[in-house]
């Protein structure tokens, strides 16, 4: 199974250097060519575009909700992208570990943390599934913002099982996904095709989730449900779970 996961990670790596940035997507490979001043100004403007005004209902609301909740907590940001979430929480006192399958994504975040004098940040390049063994086993929160829907349920169940080895009882699993209602609205496409509609031509897979399906994927542990909801006209859904065993 690990070999299958590693094969999927390679396929996903060919897509996810192209990361969500405000209202569009940007290549972290190109972003790395920015000089420091340009990089910082571009990133701050991108975060503002992604979280304020009309976009508050997409991303800004959960920054506001969780920035105090995560203060002082040890958070694993799974699929950290450009760090729009993780850097924001680090600036508000969270102890962040940025985990990503694309080295360039992590390189962008490293530079930004240096430019913003953020010290409470660690970085982990997910070269293979075995890399996860090197992570601490005492995270307070596993934060997965759309990063666990990009491969089949069976493979993500195995990856989730490994990640859960690093989340003790009482820890929170917080995840953003796409709901079944969106999948139905957009034509009930095979998951291998739906990703192209939701996230662009290079996307190899996107799969919908609801609460029952997520809990089934996380069935190596037991959870209490803090809350869950669909939002932004059923474009997204949100799950906040607390591990009880």
pLDDT of residue 18: 87
pLDDT of residue 20: 73
CATH architecture label of 2-243: 3-Layer(aba) Sandwich (3.40)
pLDDT of residue 11: 87
Residue 203's φ and ψ, nearest 5 degrees, are -75, 120
Encode the chain in three state secondary structure. Answer: CHHHHHHHHHHHHCCCCEEEECCEEEEHHHHCCCCHHHHHHHHHHHHHHHHCHHHHHCCHHHHHHHCCCCCCCEEEEECCCCCHHHHHHHHCCCEEEEEECCHHHHHHHHHHHHHCCCCCEEEEECCCHHHHHHCCCCCCEEEEECCCCCCCHHHHHHHHHHHHCCCCCCCEEEEEECCHHHHHHCCCCCHHHHHHHHHCCCCCCCCCCCHHHHHHHCCCCCEEEEEEEEECCCCEEEEEEEECC
pLDDT of residue 16: 87
- State the Cα–Cα distance between residues 177 and 217, nearest whole angstrom: 13
Q: pLDDT tens per residue, the chain (245 residues)?
A: 788 888 888 889 988 888 777 667 889 999 999 999 999 999 999 999 999 999 999 999 999 999 999 999 999 999 999 999 999 999 999 999 999 999 999 999 999 999 999 999 999 999 999 999 999 999 999 999 999 999 999 999 999 999 999 999 999 999 999 999 999 999 999 999 999 999 999 999 999 999 999 999 999 999 999 999 999 999 999 999 999 99
Domain locations in the chain as residue ranges: 2-243
Q: Tell the residue number behind the tokens 């809990």, with chain if given.
A: 215
pLDDT of residue 176: 98
- State the Cα–Cα distance between residues 26 and 33, nearest whole angstrom: 12
Q: What is the pTM (predicted TM-score) of this model?
A: 0.96
pLDDT of residue 23: 63
Q: Which two tokens stand for residue 184?
A: 């139905």
């Amino acid at each position: 199974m690990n070999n299958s996961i590693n094969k999927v990670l390679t396929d996903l790596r060919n897509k996810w250097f192209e990361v969500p940035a405000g209202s569009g997507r940007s290549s972290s490979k190109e972003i790395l060519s920015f000089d420091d001043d340009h990089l910082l100004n571009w990133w701050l403007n991108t975060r503002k575009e992604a979280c304020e005004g009309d976009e508050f209902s997409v991303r800004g609301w959960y920054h506001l909700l969780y920035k105090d909740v995560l203060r002082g907590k040890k958070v694993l940001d799974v699929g950290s992208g450009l760090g729009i979430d993780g850097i924001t929480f680090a600036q508000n006192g969270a102890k962040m570990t940025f985990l990503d399958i694309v080295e360039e994504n992590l390189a962008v975040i490293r530079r930004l943390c240096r430019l913003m004098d953020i010290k409470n940040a660690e970085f982990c390049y997910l070269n293979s599934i075995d890399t996860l063994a090197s992570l601490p086993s005492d995270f307070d929160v596993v934060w997965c913002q759309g990063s666990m829907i990009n491969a089949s349920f069976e493979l993500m169940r195995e990856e989730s099982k490994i990640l859960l080895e690093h989340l003790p009882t009482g820890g929170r699993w917080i995840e953003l996904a796409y709901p079944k209602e969106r999948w139905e609205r957009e034509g009930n496409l095979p998951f291998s095709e739906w990703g192209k509609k939701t996230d662009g031509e290079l996307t190899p897979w996107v799969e919908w989730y609801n609460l029952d399906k997520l809990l089934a994927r996380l069935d190596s542990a037991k959870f209490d449900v803090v809350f869950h909801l669909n939002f932004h006209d059923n474009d997204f859904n949100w799950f906040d779970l607390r591990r009880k065993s």
